[in-house]
A and B are shown apart, each in its own frame.
Chain A
Amino acid sequence: MSDPAALNVAASGFEAVAKDVSDPRGAKPRRVLSRRNIFLYGTLILIAVYYLLPLYVMFVTSLKGMPEIRLGNIFSPPVEITFEPWVKAWATACTGLNCDGLSRGFWNSVRITIPSVVLSIAVASVNGYALANWRFKGADIFFTILIVGAFIPYQVMIYPIVIILREIGLYGSLWGLVIVHSIFGMPILTLLFRNYFTSVPEELFKAARVDGAGFWAIYFKIMLPMALPIFVVAIILQVTGIWNDFLFGVIYTKPESYPMTVQLNNIVNSVQGVKEYNVNMAATILTGLVPLIVYFASGRLFVRGIAAGAVKG
């Protein structure tokens, strides 16, 4: 802001500019193209390009035919737009003998994701609430173990869980998979909910106790209605994580209930001669669509929820 007169692009009106510079008066001059703004928006736009480029390439490629892909530049828009790859990815791409593309797995994914998200969030929110407001002896130790559990590579747990599920007779069933998702979602979700409920004024909780509300009444009538933002965060994290899961889906269920990602893996990895990049890209976008929609739809709530669950604590 060293020389206001030189670069003034007149946001403040003529009078302000006309006045003697050495004798400031009235509204402070503002410049739309200040150095700060150029730097700020320039940087942001540049970074946005980096983030958008892969999506752009995916999208553009999915609309091209294979000959064009082989010849052309990955960044150039399609000369001839074709929806063939999308149709193929959704409906006809083959894995082994099954040639019905991703459509086969879509409803499976829905069937897996919904109960898993509901159960994992229900369990984690109650856990977090119990940890934040009803501390009992040993709770901290369990919680610490839980957090450390977040660092254990999934692969290590595959066999023990196979054995446990077998013993309780849930191996191969949808509920077995739902439980597995709930278990692995528990550390981070519990942390978020615990932090959130800790940030709720303790006096509110005390007031409810004086009012005769017990553990569940306080949870359902006081805490739950206040926890919308953190629920949004939890839902987003879980929908993303569970929808995108491949490992558990394939190990703990049967082929008839394989999630969409298994089909994606099959389409992408079953190479029939040449890799059909356009079909792969279409399949990739289709698979990622559900979490993407959840993201775009939740918008601002996500940051608000994160703020509530991560900042305090």
Chain B
Amino acid sequence: MTTRQNGRPSQLFRNLNAKIASIPMILTALVIFLGGTAWTVFYSFTNSKLLPRLNFIGLDQYERLWAAPRWMVAIENLAIYGVLSLIFSLVVGFLLAALLDQKIRFEDTFRTIFLYPFALSFIVTGLIWQWLLNPDFGIQGVVRGLGWESFEFDPLYNAEIVIYGILIAALWQGTGLIMCLMLAGLRGIDEDIWKAARVDGIPMWKTYVFIIIPMMRPVFITTLVIIASGIVRVYDLVVAQTSGGPGIASEVPAKYVYDYMFHAQNLGQGFAASTMMLLSVIIVIVPWAYLEFGRRRHV
């Protein structure tokens, strides 16, 4: 390098204000998310009960976790719920958005109707649907009251299909937001694309599938983050609707974590379960997140 006068400002002080402004983010990322996670993983190797204690027992908690039938049920439920809710949220959300994007009348009204459940908490959603799906009072009871005695619709009391009962409520609550995201994405597409497709005589569905959807990649990514984080965390809805029942048929991992940490007063077991959840999240998310949000766009 050539001669220098007054010394180059140190790397630390470059963009100093930006760094100061980012302190909350950095602290949250490091102390809460990273630190809290490390703390959790660390204590998952102990036999902490009610209070965290440093009494290491190796992988015992994990062995017990993977031998627990309830954990297996929870994992299986999460898988079913996750896959279906991802597919249905995206498909239904997109279809609704596409319908609203047809230059229809009363678009605002329809949009508000589809979106309002999102304003309600999962607890509230769970309560409403618990009631609607109650076999005595709810839909089944009403249909039977109309004279169709053999009608059966009791997803919340049937271990085989209970997870679908939860899915119905989850979709009711969540698809409105997805629709909004998709609608915003559709509105962001250049009108000329539609004109071109029309002139080329491409059928509408083909235009959507092969042209529009690929163009909406960023929307799909934001949507995926929102849906997927909701799936991993699903807890309140299950508690409000079924408390994991009947039996353990609608248990989910987050509830296992909560129950073992606080109800069973076995922090070690709860931490082991949350570590497994984190691990799966990390395996799936981190490489993707880093590609998506990490190295990108320089000038």
Contacts and interface: CB of A to CB of B under 8 A. Distances in A.
Do A and B have CB atoms closer than 8 angstroms in the complex? Answer: yes
Interface of A: 40-41, 43-44, 47-48, 50-55, 57-58, 69, 73-75, 123, 126-127, 129-131, 134, 136-137, 139-161, 164, 182-183, 186-188, 190-191, 195, 198, 202, 214-216, 240, 244-247, 261, 264-265, 268, 277, 280, 284, 287-288, 291-292, 294-296, 299-300, 302-304, 306-313
Contacts of A244: 120-124
Interface string B252-292: 01100110010000010011001001100110011001100
B193 to A, nearest CB: 14
A195 B25 contact: no
Q: Which 4 A-B pairs have the closest CB atoms?
A: A244-B121, A307-B184, A215-B17, A134-B18
B55 interface: no
A161 B32 contact: yes
A311 B218 contact: yes
A148 B281 contact: yes
15 contacts: A126-B21, A136-B19, A140-B294, A144-B286, A148-B285, A155-B254, A156-B278, A190-B25, A198-B297, A215-B15, A277-B137, A295-B112, A295-B115, A296-B112, A309-B222
A302 B294 contact: no
B132 A54 contact: yes
Contacts of B188: 307, 311-312
A159 B113 contact: no
Contacts of A50: 172
A144 to B, nearest CB: 5
B33 to A, nearest CB: 4
A53 B168 CA distance: 13
A147 B60 CA distance: 31
B218 A73 contact: no
Interface of B: 11, 14-15, 17-19, 21-22, 24-26, 28-37, 39-40, 52, 96, 99-100, 102, 104, 108, 110-124, 127-129, 131-132, 137-138, 141-142, 145, 172, 176, 180-181, 183-185, 187-188, 216, 218-219, 221-223, 225-226, 228-229, 232-233, 235-236, 253-254, 257-258, 261, 267, 270-271, 274, 277-278, 281-282, 285-286, 289-290, 293-297, 299
A127 B116 contact: no
B117 to A, nearest CB: 7
Contact of A310 (B124, B141, B184): B184
Contact of B22 (A40, A127, A144, A159): A127
B129 A54 contact: yes
B213 to A, nearest CB: 13
B184 to A, nearest CB: 3
Contacts of B22: 126-127, 130-131, 136, 139, 142
